[in-house]
Structure 1
Amino acid sequence: MKTAYPIILTPADHGYVVYVPDLDINTEGGSIADAIDMAADAIGLWGITAQDMGREIPAASAALPACKSGETAAYALVDFDACRRANDMRTVRKNVTLPSFLNDLAEKAGVNFSQVLQDALKQRLGITDR
């Protein structure tokens, strides 16, 4: 699910400092576009870490925040599901049961059982790699 979080961009010596008021976090980028991308990454990582710790991700404010002179307000678009797919590389072990003849044929063919299961689960769940 995509969410737009308001951010504040402040010019710095080399690029922009970004502040995300809803989460009270900072990041930076070399250009406005880079700073907005970095904000989306920071928000995404903050969010999936919060979920892993059993906390809910705070909802994004609906309005842009007030800015001081020289600052710019914008939105950073974040897809928490995509962030998790891109950054959660933990693996888990699963025990599966299948007919012996199928196991024998697959082993003789050099099938990677883990990869086949991953591919099948992605297809079943409608997950596409980007």
Structure 2
Amino acid sequence: MKEKKLLQEYVYPAVFHANDDNTYTIIFPDLPGCISEGKSLGNAMKMAEAALTQWIEYLKDSKEEIPVPSKLQDVELENNEFVNFIRADIKDTRAVKRTISLPRWMDEQAAEEGLSLSKILQEALSKRFVTAN
């Protein structure tokens, strides 16, 4: 059986600037406007990953071009800065149509309550997949 690629990986250099108060400001030279901060180095690494993930998802949703990442050696640094690669795994969130079967009474109850069966199914599957991992 052919394995489907559920995640798309993006890796970009991030510049970490050490601030006087021991926090870090993070910028992505290839993604103007993609900026974050961290209260510690570990927190800054997590914040950089979250910022990159959200930025790439925004570009994909907006159907904007995703820039090619710079090479590590091409990133210019100032005092109190270092560069590190940050990875973002982006899930394919495109909707697909499925035909499902359920008892008539469930369908009628859901219709009476104005429930979205698609939303309920997505929420249920999300909970199941989170607990399974």
- Report the CA distance between 1:56 and its aligned residue: 2.8
The aligned runs of 1:58-73 (5 Å cut-off) are 58-64=67-73, 65-73=75-83
Which residue is equivalent to 2:28?
Answer: 20
TM-score, normalising length: structure 1? 0.63
1:12/1:116 Cα in 2 relative to 1: closer, same or farther (>3 Å)?
closer
Q: Which of residues 63, 78, 87 is equivalent to 2:88?
A: 78
Q: Which of residues 12, 29, 38 is equivalent to 2:38?
A: 29
Q: Distance in 1 between matches of 2:125 and 2:67?
A: 30
Aligned length: 112
Q: Deviations over 1:16-36 (max 9, x none)?
A: 111110102221101112112
The aligned runs of 1:88-107 (5 Å cut-off) are 98=101, 102-104=103-105
Gaps of 5+ in 2: 1-7
Does the 8 Å CA contact 2:18/2:24 hold for their aligned counterparts? yes
